[in-house]
Amino acid sequence: MALAMTSTLALGFLAACGNTDSASGGGSSSETVKIALQAPMSGGSATLGEAIKNGAAMAVEEEKADFEEAGFSLELVEYDDQGDPQKGVSNAQIIGSDQDVYGVVAHLNSGVFIPSSEVYERYNIPSVSPASTATDVTDRNLKSVNRIVARDDFQGPAGAEYAVQEIGAKKIFVINDKTAYGQGLATAFAEAAAEEGAEIVGEAGITVGEKDFNGVLNQVSSADPDLVYFGGLYSEGGLLIKQARDNGIDAAFMGGDGMDSSTLVEIAGDTVNNVYLTSVAGDSSATEFAKNYEEEYGAKPESFSIYGYDSAKVLMEGILDAAKENGGKLPAKDKVATAVRAIDDYEGEMTQVSFDDKGDNEFAKIFIYKFDEASYPAKIQGEISQ
């Protein structure tokens, strides 16, 4: 509370300063620093993109004062990537050619971030993603590319740890949907669960688009597991859960973030209880941020809003660090990229941030959710650190 008061005071003071500056007519001291934002603001995932944008906009608004003090005027520029890699890359070109852009809060979709980041790298503009989880985002070892959420390949092991240690599963049946995502997730889970000491009593695959999974479920009922793990998406996941319950299988189910959808609940209906999900996004509803967000936008933040906020904050922290090193003058963009990568133990609202040498956040967590009734979203159960 006290903090908020001082910052408002500081704001007022600085605003006054700015006025006198422009009145005296000499004010070339304030150079423009732009933070760019790219997220899908139209199309299927527009709600999430919009949420990330709102989070980042709040962060920029809050930092304006600090930047003013350092002699920079801060600005957020928004681009709609439409969830489309081509659109993302062409926006990235525009961002790259803008001299004033010193950082990008970059993309919801990994598929868009990966090609666009090649462009950012060329212009040495540091990017921090609030939501891209694909391993390839950071595995290319680009020096400007970072993310604050966990990697995809941590979801399986984190789920396994929770399943064995917290749920107490001893016999686990693993099903995948034969896609790259589902199979990768299921394999990583199975290996980690076996290491944790659980017995994998069966593995099976289903075909995306089919609706009858009774054959596989017959295998499940004769193996009689206490947990079924499904690597795949909500439409098959929902049917699998429903048909399993119809067949009298009451074991717990677990899946990855591909199952995190309200459609899962619609398909499975009341049978959705005792279903666990792993997700890279945590529950921000209890934070100060959520309160401010609701005041500002009149709606509750989405899961990734707070990650948009933290990503923007991390970027701006990096810019200020680099400026300090450069004697208070605007640094070169590659120096900013280095400074962002060097960020250590930054306390964000949602997550602590320290980037490793690839740009992955060492403090990124996997969050475990559970459905107890036919309502979405699921309730948070716990978190697993890397």
In the complex, which residues of this chain contact another protein (CB under 8 A)? 178, 202-207, 209-212, 214-216, 218-219, 221-222, 235, 238-239, 242, 246-248, 263, 266-267, 269
Task: Let me know: does 251 contact 228? Beta carbons within 8 Å.
Answer: yes
Residues 6+ apart with CB under 8 A from 230: 175, 176, 177, 182, 186, 236, 237, 240, 253, 254, 255, 259
Cα 103 from Cα 129, distance rounded (Å): 11
Cα 76 from Cα 341, distance rounded (Å): 21
Q: Residue 37's beta-bridge partner residues?
A: 78, 105
Question: With 0-12 CB in 10 A as exposed, 13-18 as middle and 19+ as buried, what is 12?
Answer: exposed
Nearest to 305 by CA among 316, 291, 320, 319: 291
Q: What is the 3-state secondary structure (H, E, C) of 93-153?
A: HHHHHCCCEEEEEECCCHHHHHHHHHHHHHCCCCEEECCCCCCHHHHCCCCCEEECCCCHH
Instruction: Please identify which residue in the block is written with the tokens 């990734």.
Output: 304
Residue 130 vs 237, nearer CB to another protein? 237
